[in-house]
Amino acid sequence: MKAVITKKYGPPEVAMIQEIDKPVPKENEILVKVIAAPVTSGDARIRGLNVPFGFKFITKLMFGFKGPKKPVLGVVFSGIIEQVGDKVSGFSKGDAVFGSKEDFGCHAEYLVIKEKAAILHKPEKLSHDEAASIPFGAMTSLKYLRDFGKVKKGQKILINGASGALGIYAVQLAKYFGAEVTGVCSTSNVGLVKSVGADHVIDYKTTDFTKNGDTYDIIYDTVGKLDFSKCRDSLNSKGVLLLAAAGIKEYGQVLSTSFSGAKKVVAGVVLFKKEDLKAVAELIEQDHIKPVIGQTFELSEIVEAYKHVDGGHKVGSAVLKV
């Protein structure tokens, strides 16, 4: 089968299409023929070892020192089941499915995944491209807003990077939870962010939200551009700054604010679980979440896809049509 192989860390060009053996499912696993798989910011960070300051050593320790130990990256997919193991009971050959594979492997024509992992039947209303575009951003933002931020109805929330893969779903989730939502994005994406439910949109090219006098219960930075010192005055008295991409300095702020002061900084690792995917799937069925795909690429265009993601101005999801 064809797969995107990344044997060393580096620029987009280190990702190459190669022929490798087709995986064989074990008794509790499912073999999926991949139809679509996004190239996420997480994939790009691992490929380029582009991680927050102070995290390169631990990243190499976890994923490989000279290059990724698992050279087929990609954590999200949508596809068709080709084979199930003898002990798989909830899925059958031919089922359309989508989900997340935390140990990578989605940037390939086939993948194997455990039945208990974050995999579900694909919502019929979505195409495979659309289904693949949702889980990474939606599950990440669900964990940050619902679990880390404890979002409540009536709160004021600002989402920095509101047009990206995390931000576009954060806007929709925050509206579902009953918050008043302000999105921050570039001029060209103002209309898009409004269309997915933002009550207010700030164009960062013309307005600095930290200087306009408005305050928020939650500020959710999806792109790693903010820190506590810059946002402190924009938080309400018990406000929370959520950081989806935090380095050593920011984790120091997490620790220091946990012991003193009413305003807090919160960051953490998000693990994708089946129950979280179920929650997202229910919101899709209820029309609270809709997919946003900024651009699609063929598998052979993986270098162009990575360059697009590395540019830092991706709208919604960048999806590989496998």
Are 147 and 237 members of one domain?
yes
Q: Do the domain assignments include residue 280? A: no
What confidence category does residue 278 fall into, taking pLDDT thresholds of 50, 70 and 90?
very high
Please list the residues that pair with 303 across neighbouring strands.
none
Are 206 and 297 members of one domain?
no
Q: Do the domain assignments include residue 283? A: no
| CATH number of the domain to which 101 belongs | 3.90.180.10
Predicted local confidence at residue 42, as pLDDT: 92
Q: What is the mean pLDDT of residues 118-144?
A: 97
Are 121 and 190 members of one domain?
no
Lowest-pLDDT range, 254-263, 281-290, 295-304?
Answer: 254-263
Look over the chain and give the mean of its residue pLDDT values, rounded to a whole number. Answer: 95
Angle, to 10 degrees, between the axis of helix 274-285 and the axis of helix 167-176?
70
Q: What is the mean pLDDT of residues 235-249?
A: 92
Q: Do the domain assignments include residue 48? A: yes
Predicted local confidence at residue 253, as pLDDT: 86
Helix (H) or strand (E) holding 265: strand 264-267
Distance CA 264, CA 277 (A): 28
Nearest in space to 143 (alpha carbons), one of 287, 42, 244, 292: 244
Q: Do the domain assignments include residue 117? A: yes
Distance CA 33, CA 70 (A): 19
* 246 or 307, higher pLDDT: 307
Sign of CA dihedral 81, 83, 87, 89: positive
Q: Do the domain assignments include residue 68? A: yes
Predicted local confidence at residue 103, as pLDDT: 92
Total domains in the fold of the chain: 2
What the block records as the tokens of 184 is 């921050």
| pLDDT exceeds cutoff 80 at 53 | no
User: pLDDT tens digits for 137-155?
Assistant: 999 999 999 999 999 999 9
What confidence category does residue 58 fall into, taking pLDDT thresholds of 50, 70 and 90?
confident
Indicate the residue type of 234.
S
What confidence category does residue 97 fall into, taking pLDDT thresholds of 50, 70 and 90?
very high
Q: What is the mean pLDDT of residues 235-247?
A: 93
Are 57 and 148 members of one domain?
no
Q: Are 222 and 171 in contact (CB under 8 A)?
A: no
Distances (CA, A) of 121 to 53, 94, 198, 275: 39, 11, 30, 13
Are 35 and 104 members of one domain?
yes
Predicted local confidence at residue 312, as pLDDT: 85
Predicted local confidence at residue 247, as pLDDT: 81
Are 198 and 306 members of one domain?
no
Q: What is the mean pLDDT of residues 160-178?
A: 97
Predicted local confidence at residue 273, as pLDDT: 93
Are 12 and 106 members of one domain?
yes
Q: What is the mean pLDDT of residues 67-84?
A: 97
Predicted local confidence at residue 248, as pLDDT: 83
| pLDDT exceeds cutoff 90 at 94 | yes
Domain of 78?
A: 2-134+291-321
Sheet strands side by side (includes 180-185): 200-203, 180-185, 156-160, 216-221, 235-243, 264-267
Predicted local confidence at residue 261, as pLDDT: 80
CA 52, distance to chain mean position in Å, is: 16
CA 32, distance to chain mean position in Å, is: 21
Are 149 and 39 members of one domain?
no
What letter would DSSP give residue 234? G
Lowest-pLDDT range, 31-40, 133-142, 182-191, 265-274?
Answer: 265-274
